[in-house]
Structure 1
């Protein structure tokens, strides 16, 4: 491994330098990049004197000394039951966990100085990229499906991004953005294809490790659409374990809406990749309604390697979980309640676990 980050394809091992001329995907197979780069151990005892944001874990981050930070990270951890706690990532600057990765993409883009930044999203990632590009003074275009929540659309526009509403589903939106990303002078701030995003989301687990005094819960539960939080969590766990900072790895439990659950179907079928076809239906969990996630093989492998599993939740369970959390003082969007919906009835037994509450309820309102 190198101390100078390079893009590396996990399929064919193609590598390229991280610079303004780098393609947004592997030129051989068209797949997403990983980052070839070596971290150093984060010294737990010195953290108390560091900046109060995710940038405190500097040894684990491929960028340092940011100028675009909005103070992201360091979100509260609160108990829901005797064994399950919730991390309140909806209290981020743009009200979702996507700020963890978006700040990395915007900081990288600022250093590469493109003519324009382009992103595609079901809402929250696009909002986060728009906000951090505004902070960095970068022109930005965000592609979203036409059916995206009006409040998310309003938030993207408020940050000054050019909004591109795409007819069709999330897949059609991604295709439109990728076509635009091939133009000269464009930086594709893809939370799926660019691994800097994953090295931002991994700080979620570094914060859990710090908050638990140098340990982790037995189970980490994450919602999965494109898998950016799960893969970031897996990165952090492997880094902490490799540096001898945790004695054992926690199990990763991935949650999907039953209506759009291609990864859960593949996992329970014992497949290493997505099945040829998995039926889908409309779901309240728009943020994880991804029928063909590009990093599917990595997601499935990470869950299996951890000894974890996939859980699915129905639309009624999503509604009930959102009402339950609201009654506890936590107003969370319908996608963001999926993990609590999956475990609130005791699916994990008496194991200790943390669920993320990923997006604020003000983004979508109460599910009907």
Structure 2
């Protein structure tokens, strides 16, 4: 086995062996971080490397991938003057979750579990199912009953066993975690497992390379469980520590107004969530997370960057999805959240980059636009 870094709890410092199948801190039950502080390669050394996220090998905790589907290296396109979009829906499973899922599958191959389990509102489950299929790993994905039929079809097509759970997203997570505690089970959690964050951070490493060794003034990112934002914060820290950028971009976190626990905590000046947010219907199902386990880390990352939290309404989501489609980009409703915020006037929007995280074909339109669109 390739030498793997150990995990540790960011709250109490408890360490967990790299070879363990433990998925959370054995003391407090919280998510783990990775004891890994890489140094990125300079820009000029990237020329000629493999055209996938694995070109940033120095920054990844796993080497020599065997299940890659060519994930990463998605294009940048201009939306308006000073605002660009990164088309992360152009991934093998049509969402940015492939960035983290490939690392979870690679890790599972090295740990050799008898079974992989995951929980998801759709996109993460699809990505994990696909990469487990590539790795020939048996996989079970727990999903809410109201998951998009198109996402269920995609998970099933990859050969994963589907477990449909009555209840909200929290109930789905609880069901998966009960199984995750069984011997020989690898919990491919895109929230608790830090390898996922070290996959999503390649979003920013790609931006840095494509922009000629710099980053934009503002990164506007959709936030539910915060996996893309926390990955972005990791990459920014790595590039800054290596002297490869001279300043850190502000992180703007976007939540759906219908389910916005982090935005509410931010407004209250809190360091953590006091309680879960009420569960309300929203088209942005992928970020409708009432109690994200990494809430404290997300709030700190935004604060340390000089960023802020923003919320978008259902009307804004509908307008944004239709607007992008009129520009030739059909993106699912969760994936348009950042553009919904920027097009309606985010402070400091010049120089911003927004991710378009999932393809519209995964869930279809969010409904007719309000009159006047």
Asked if these proteins are the same fold (TM beyond 0.5), I'd say yes
Are the aligned partners of 1:117 and 1:141 in contact in 2 as well (CA < 8 Å)? Answer: yes
Per-residue displacement from partner, 1:66-104 (whole Å, max 9, x unpaired)?
Answer: 000000000000000111100000000000000000000
Q: Is the 8 A contact 1:119 1:141 kept in 2?
A: yes
Q: Which moved more, 1:208-217 or 1:345-354?
A: 345-354
CA distance in 1, matches of 2:131, 2:221: 24
Q: Contact 2:4–2:18 at 8 Å: present in 1 too?
A: no
**Using the alignment, how far apart are the partners of 1:180 and 1:350 within structure 2?**
44
- Counterpart of 1:33? 32
Matched, 1:6 2:6: yes
Question: Which aligned pairs between 1:55-70 and structure 2 lie closer than 5 A?
Answer: 55-70=54-69
Q: Residue 68 of structure 2 aligns to a residue in which SS?
A: coil
* Structure 1 residue 347: Cα displacement: 1.5
1:17 aligns with 2:21: no
Deviation at 1:280, TM superposition (A): 3.6
2:21·2:184 contact (CA, 8 Å) conserved in 1?
A: no
Partner of 2:371: none
Q: Which residue of 1 aligns with 2:149?
A: 150
Query: Are residues 107 and 350 of structure 1, via their aligned partners in 2, closer, same or farther at CA, if it must alter by over 3 Å?
Result: closer
Q: Following the alignment from structure 1 to structure 2, what is the Cα–Cα distance between the partners of residues 81 and 269?
A: 33
Describe the SS at the equivalent of 1:173.
helix
> Which runs of no fewer than 5 residues in structure 2 stay unpaired?
368-373
The whole-number CA distance in structure 1 between the counterparts of 2:349 and 2:125 is 37
Deviations 1:47-73 (A, max 9, x none): 111000000001100001100000000
8 Å CA contact retained: 2:342, 2:349: no
In 2, Cα distance between the equivalents of 1:275 and 1:318? Answer: 27
Runs of 4+ in structure 1 off by over 2 angstroms are 275-280, 348-351
Structure 1: give runs of 5+ residues left out of the alignment.
none
Q: Aligned ranges for residues 93-172 of structure 1 at < 5 Å?
A: 93-172=92-171
- Distance 1:277-1:362 versus aligned 2 partners, 3 A rule: closer
Residues of 1 paired with 2:97 and 2:18: CA distance? 22
Hey, what's the Cα distance between the residues in 2 that align with 1:348 and 1:130? 39
TM-score by length of 2: 0.96
Counterpart contact for 2:42–2:244, Cα < 8 Å: no
- Partner residue, 1:358: 357
Contact 2:4 2:62 in 1 (8 A): no
Deviation for aligned residue 1:38: 2.4
Once the two structures are TM-superposed, the CA of residue 22 in structure 1 deviates from its matched residue by 3.5
Equivalent residue for 1:74? 73
Match of 2:187 in 1: 188
SS at match of 1:252: strand
RMSD (Å), alpha carbons: 1.0
Measure the CA separation in 1 of the matches of 2:128 and 2:187.
11
* In 1, Cα distance between equivalents of 2:162 and 2:251: 35
